[in-house]
Structure 1
Amino acid sequence: MPCRRYTGLRHAFFLAIGCLCLAAGTAHAGLSYRLTSPQASPGGSIELEGLLTNDTGTALSSPVARELTGQWVDAQGRVTPAHFQLRTSPDAIDLPANTFTRMAWSGRVPAGAHGLLTLRLDGAADTLLALQVDAGSLPGPGTRIAANAEAGMIAAGTASAPPSATALAAAPATAAPSAPASGLSPFDTFRNAISSYEPIYFAVGNRDGADARFQVSFKYRLFSPADPARPGFMDNWYFGYTQTALWDLHSDSIPFVDTTYNPSLFWARDSIWSSGDKRWSLGLNSGFEHKSNGKDDEDSRSLNDLYVQPEVNYRFDGGSTLSFQPRFKYYVWTDHDMGYRDALGYVDWKLRWAQDDGLILSGLYRQGASGRNATQLEAAWPLKRTFLHMNGHLYVQYFRGYGETLLGYDQKYDPQVRIGIALVP
C-alpha cells in the first residue's frame, strides 16, 4: 500500500507540474493603436483609436491620456508635430479581467501634406501608423506597401495590436495574411470572447489516502459589443462551462471518484450600478445550469436549476474589494425523489475578499434540510510575489459537509485540507 500511495502522489506531482507550466504562460495588459480611416484630406480631421486589453487575470484600473503627441513623417522625411485630444470618456477606466475596451482621440492632418504619411506616437516607439493623404485609398488587407519600403513608410502596429487596413504589420515576404476589415482576426475574436469563470485549480490532500480535487472553468461571450465599454443587453449573454473532479490517488488503478459536468447559459454584468465615489457597485449573474456526472444506472446523477446571483461589491482605500454573492436556486426538470433539494439547499452563500495583487480569501456556505450543510474555504497568494516569480497562485482549500461530489451529494464528507495551485483563484 505505501508503494501505491507513492505512485498516486507521484502522478499528482507531475500533473501539478503541468499546471505550473500552464500558469507560467504570459499574461499582460497592452494598449495598441490604429487610425480609424485609411485616408484623409490635407488639414482634415482624423481619429486615432486605442484598444486596451487586460489579460492579467485581475481587474485593471488605468488613467487614459487626455492628449497624445507624436510626429507625422512624409516620404521625404519631413517631420510635422502631431497632437490628438481625447474624444471619448471617461479619462480613467476600471477594466475587468480578460476583457478589453476602446477609446478614441481626435486630431488633424498637416495642412500641406500629400501622399503617404507615417504617424509615430511619443512613448510608443514600436508603433507606426500609415495614412494616405489625398491619394485614393490604401491597398487592401494582405497587400504590402512595398513601393514605399525604402522610404521607411511601412505601417506597423504594436506587438499586441490586431491587424487592420490602417495598421499593417511591417513583415517579411512570408508574412501571414492580414485580418478581415473588422480589424480582428478570427482567433482574436475568439480570444476576446472567452474568459475565466469559476476558479481553476488543482489541489492535493491526504485524508484516508491521497486524493486530488481539480476544476477547470470558462465562459464564452455570445455577442461581441460594438463598444466594450458600453455593452448592450444582448452583449452580456454567456455560455459557461465548469468541470470539477475528485481523483483517488491511493487505490490500485488511481481512478476518478466522480466528475461533475456543469454547462450553463446566463446573463451577467459585473456592474449594473455604482456609487458616485465608486466604492459600492452592484452586479448580476442569472441563468440556467445543468449538472451531471456522466454515469449510467445507479450511479447516474443529474439536476437542473434556474438561478439568480446578485453581487454587492465594496472597494477599500487600500486596494482590495469585498464581494457578497448569494446564489438563489430553483430546481427544474429534476427528479424530486433524488432529494437534491434537501442535500444541496436553495442558496449558496458566497463571500470573497481580494487584494488587487495579493491575498484572496473566499468562502461558501450551503444549508440543506435536516442539518445537512457544506462549508468551503479558499485562500490564494500570487506566485509572482514568491521566489518563483511566476503566474498563478499558491492555493489552499478546506471542505467539510455534503456535496463535494455529485455522486455523493447525500454523503457527509469529513474535513479535508488540500494544497496546490490555482491558475484563476
Structure 2
Amino acid sequence: MKLIVRPLHTLFFTLAATLAVTLLNMSQAWAGMAYQLDQTHAIAGETINVKAVLFNDTGNTLSWRPSKTLVLQWRSESGQAIRSLAYLETAPSQVNVPVNNFVQFAWRAVVPKGVKGLQAINVEGRPTLLALDTNPLEKSPIAGTPAHAQIVDAGAAPEGRKADPVLPKNIVAATGASINEGPAIDTLQKPITTPSAFDNFRNALSPYEPIYFDVGTKGGTNARFQLSFKYRLFTPADPENPKFFDNMYLGYTQTSLWDLSASSSPFIDTTYNPSIFWHKDALWQADSKQWFVGLSTGVEHKSNGKAGADSRSLNDGFIEPQFNYRFDGGSTLTFAPRVKAYMGITDNPDYADYAGHVDWKLRWAQDNGLVLSGMYRHGNQGHQATQIEAAWPLQRTFLNMNGYLHVQFFKGYGETLLGYRQNSDSQIRVGLSLVP
C-alpha cells in the first residue's frame, strides 16, 4: 500500500470545498416582509401606522434599507382608487439582520378625505392587502384594477376643504411611483430608479470582525482599536437563491496597539489583514430553525508594514465552521473554531509555535442586548492566549446613543504581530464598540 502525503493546507481546502458544496445543495433560503395596520378602524383625517416585520430566513446576514416613503392604494367597494403616501417614522438607515432574526419598522399615514366604508389597502409594489374599516356599518369588496389616480397629500388639507391637494410631480417621482397610475394589487412594480454606484458599493459593504476602540492603563495608558469590513464581490441576481460565487467576499481588518503615555504617543504595532474568502451564515438549518450551521473558508495575509528585524509577515489558509443555536428567549450561541494552515512564514518560522493552528471562539449574543465572546489559542510548550469581551448597547443606557459599551480582557502571547513571542500580562481595556 502506497501512502500519499499532502500538505496540510491542501487538505483543509479540499475539506472546505467538499463541505461547502455538499451543504450548499441542502440549503434553501428566503426573506419575507410582513405588513399590518396597528388598528382596524379609522375615519378620514385620522393617522394610522403601517407596521412591517422583516424576517431573515436566508443563509446570510441580510443588509436592507427601508424606504423613506410608501405609496398606499385605497380601494372602496365601488372600485374607486385613491393613492397617498406613508412616511417612515425613523430616519432611513441600513440594517443588518442576522440569520433567523427580524427587525420592525413603522410608517405613518393619514386616511384621505375621500375614503369611505371598508377599504382594501395595498402597499404599492408589494403583494400585500390590508383592511381598514372607515364606516363599521358598511362592507366593501376588494378591487384589483390599476389605480388611475394622482397621489394626494392627505395631511395637508386645511379644515373645511373637501379634497386633499395633489402632490407635485417631482415629489411623486422621488418615491419611484408613476404620476397618475399605480399597478394592480397583484402586480409587483419594478423599481423605476436605478441604484447609484455609491448605493451598489454601500449595499455590498458590511461588518466583518468586531470594530472597537478601548483604553487601558496597565503599564501606562494605552489603546487597542480595530477596524474591519467585508465586501461582497457579486450581487445575486436572485437574492433568495444565490449562486456559489455570490458568497465570495474581500475582507480587511486592521488592529493597532497605541501607547498614549509615551512621548509623541507612538503606535507600538499595527496588523494589516486583507483576505479573500467564501462565507455563508446558514448552509444548513434544522426544521425548527433553532440549529443552523455556517461556514467561512479562504486565505488571508497578515503583516505589520515594518522592515528589517521588526518585519512580520505571514499567510494562512483557514476553514471556520460555525455551529449556532437560537434560543427561544431571543439570543444566539455560536461555536466557531477557525483552523489555520500557514504559508510563506520563512521570516517568522516559529509563529505557529506561539499562535497554534486553531482559534477556539465562542459567542453568545442577545437581540439588542448583551454580547459575550471569547477566544482561546494554544501553541507549543505552553504558549497560549485568551481574549474575553463583553458589550452592552448604549441605547439601553441613560446616554441613549449608538454603539456599545465595550470591555476587553487579554492575556498571553500574540497581542501584537510584532510581539508574537512576548507574553503579555493580563490587561483590561474599556471603550466604545460599533460592532461587537
What TM-score, normalized to structure 1?
0.66
Q: 1:342 to 1:390 in 2, by over 3 A?
A: same
Identity of aligned residues (%): 50
Of 297, 320, 325, which aligns to 1:309? 320
Q: Counterpart in 1 of 2:420?
A: 409
Secondary structure (helix, strand or coil) at the match of 1:304 reads strand
Alpha-carbon distance, 1:29 to partner? 6.3
Is 1:279 the equivalent of 2:293?
no
How far apart, CA to CA, are the structure 2 residues paired with 1:254 and 1:217? 23
Displacement after TM superposition at 1:63 (Å): 8.0
CA contact (8 A) 2:375 2:386 kept: yes
Equivalent residue for 2:102, pick from 34, 41, 61 = 61
Distance 1:268 1:354 in 2: 20
Where does structure 2 lack aligned partners over 5 or more consecutive residues? 1-62, 72-78, 80-87, 130-141, 157-163, 180-190
Inter-partner Cα distance in structure 2 for 1:402 and 1:112? 68
Q: Which residue of 1 aligns with 2:169?
A: 154
**1:154 Cα deviation after fit:** 3.0
- Aligned partner of 2:275 in structure 1 is 264
What's 1:333 paired with?
344
Compared CA separation, residues 151 and 359, structure 1 to 2 (3 A): closer
| Residues 151/391 of structure 1: CA separation in 2 closer, same or farther (3 Å cut) | closer
- Quote the residue 1:7 is aligned against: none
Contact 2:152 2:165 (C-alpha < 8 Å) held by counterparts: no
Q: 5 Å matches for 1:18-417?
A: 30-31=66-67, 55-56=94-95, 59=98, 60-62=101-103, 83-84=121-122, 104-105=126-127, 111=145, 114=148, 117-118=150-151, 151-152=166-167, 154=169, 156=171, 166=177, 183-335=194-346, 338-417=349-428
Taking a change above 3 Å as real, the CA distance of residues 78 and 269 of structure 1, as seen in their structure-2 partners, is same
Once the 2 structures are TM-superposed, how far is the Cα of residue 419 of structure 1 from its aligned partner? 0.8
Please state how far the C-alpha of 1:30 moved relative to its aligned partner: 2.7
Deviations 1:126-184 (Å, cap 9, x if unpaired)?
9xxxxxxxxxxxxxxxxxxxxxx974363757xxxx9675468xxxxxxxxxxx96632
Contact 2:300 2:315 in 1 (8 A): yes
SS of the residue aligned with 1:250?
coil
Name the amino acid aligned to 2:243.
G
Instruction: Give the TM-score of the pair, scaled to structure 2.
Output: 0.65
Size of the alignment, in residue pairs? 322
CA contact (8 A) 2:153 2:165 kept: no
* Displacement of 1:235: 1.5
In structure 1, C-alpha distance between the alignment counterparts of 2:144 and 2:257, rounded to whole Å: 65
CA RMSD across the alignment: 3.8
In structure 2, how many angstroms separate the alpha carbons of the residues matched to 1:421 and 1:274? 34
Q: Which digits, 9 at most, give the CA deviation of each residue in 1:294-336, with x for residues without a partner?
A: 0011111000011111101101111111000110111122217
- What SS does the corresponding residue of 1:298 show, helix, strand or coil? helix
Distance (whole Å) between structure 1 residues aligned to residue 348 and residue 422 of structure 2: 16
Give the C-alpha shift of residue 81 in structure 1.
5.3
